[in-house]
Amino acid sequence: MNRDDRIRAFSLRCDGMTWEEIGQVMHYDGQSVAKDLRSVLEKRPRIPDVRSPAVRDYLVRECSGSLPELAARMGVSPYRLRRVLVYGDQPTQHMRVKLLAVTNLTEEEAFPERSSQHV
C-alpha cells in the first residue's frame, strides 16, 4: 500500500468499516490491510543525533523528531540544518538567529560546544 492508500484505509477504519470491508473497497485482502497499517503504527521515527540535548528535546517535543519540519519552521535548508546540528558545521548568523527564535533556547543551550570553546 502506498501513503495515499494508507490514509484512505485509516479514514475508512475510523468511519467504522471492518478490515475485510476496507480490503474489498480498496481491492486488497483485509488481513493485508490490517497488517500493513499495524506495521506503520508500530514504527517509531528515528530521532537524529543532534549535538545539543536542548535542541534534540525540542525536536522530539515540537516537531515529532523531524529535522525537515524544524527547518521549514525556520525557513532554512534541511540539509544545512542537519550539517549544523548533527555534524557540527558552523551555522550562519541567519541560521543561529532563526534557531534561537523558533526554539526559544539560549545560545548556550542551542550550541553548547561552541559556548564552551569561547570560555
Mark whether 80 and 25 lie in a shared domain.
no
Mark whether 70 and 113 lie in a shared domain.
yes
Q: pTM of this prediction?
A: 0.60
- Taking a C-beta distance cutoff of 8 angstroms, is the pair 48, 38 a contact? no
Q: Residue 9 falls within a domain, yes or no?
A: yes
Query: What pLDDT does 109 receive?
Result: 93
Cβ neighbours of 43 (radius 10 Å):
8
Q: Which domain holds residue 89?
A: 53-117
Confidence of residue 116 (pLDDT cuts 50, 70, 90): low
- Taking a C-beta distance cutoff of 8 angstroms, is the pair 95, 76 a contact? yes
Residue with cell 560546544: 113
Distance CA 18, CA 112 (A): 52
Kindly report the CATH number assigned to the domain that includes residue 84: 1.10.260
Q: Residue 48 falls within a domain, yes or no?
A: no
Q: Where are the beta strands (DSSP E) in 1-119?
A: none
State the average pLDDT for the chain: 89
Would the pLDDT of 43 be above 70? no
The pLDDT tens digits of the residues spanning 82-99 come to 999 999 999 999 999 999
Confidence of residue 115 (pLDDT cuts 50, 70, 90): low
